[in-house]
Amino acid sequence: MSEFLIYFQIGLKHVLDIHAYDHVLFLIALVVPFSFKDWKQIILLITLFTIGHTMALLLSVFGIIAVKVNVVELLIPITILITAFFNLFTAGKSNKKESINLVFFVTLFFGIIHGLGFSNYFKAILGGSAISKLLPLAEFAVGIEAAQIIVVFIVLIISYIVQTVFRFSKRDWTLVMSAFIIGVVLPMIIENEIWSR
């Protein structure tokens, strides 16, 4: 049980780390167009993201895929930027349900990219064979899922307060938050060390 808690906590801290806020930014961008009544879609989205994240770690642990760290560090903010721009162009539009399958697929793919960003660290903290890393990987994934539910719940509460107390429309709230996220991630992309090579 104590070993489970170790990797569960690593998963929690991976998402909730204030210094590595890219994961939280992605979750905000992903969830801000939704409300509590969309909880089934939200759970499916964050679970798909966790599955993608875990798939990337699995592929890395078994040596099937290896990506340069600076490339992944550029791709992660790009995934956040794409999600925020998607919100800008779809906010308040009625065809949201038609595009949800695309959102599910893209979320899974973006989970893979985010997982690759953590793969080197994950391999470094785990010794032994690839097979022996499967259980800790599952425990880590449970921690990630739990942390994502916490973040999503907080975002939904804030969204509810802003839309009921401060009378923001869902569309305006989505536009404001997406624009804010774009403002945060653009410098992350521009200042990435890949451009200085």
Q: What is the pLDDT of residues 82-122, one digit of tens each?
A: 999 999 999 887 655 556 788 899 999 999 999 998 888 88
Over residues 184-189, the mean pLDDT reads: 96
Residue 90: how many CB atoms within 10 A of its CB?
Answer: 17
Confidence of residue 167 (pLDDT cuts 50, 70, 90): very high
Alpha-carbon distances of 2 from 6, 11, 43, 139, rounded to whole Å: 6, 14, 27, 11
How far apart are alpha carbons 91 and 173 in whole angstroms? 9
Residue 49 has pLDDT above 80, yes or no: yes
Q: Do residues 11 and 142 make contact, with C-beta atoms less than 8 angstroms apart?
A: yes
User: What's the confidence (pLDDT) of residue 96?
Assistant: 55
How far apart are alpha carbons 177 and 172 in whole angstroms? 9
Query: Comparing C-alpha atoms, which of 10, 6, 16 is closest to residue 152?
Result: 16
What's the mean pLDDT when you consider all of the chain? Answer: 91
If phi over 0 gives left and psi between -120 and 50 gives alpha, with beta otherwise, what is residue 93?
A: beta
Supply the DSSP symbol for 166: S
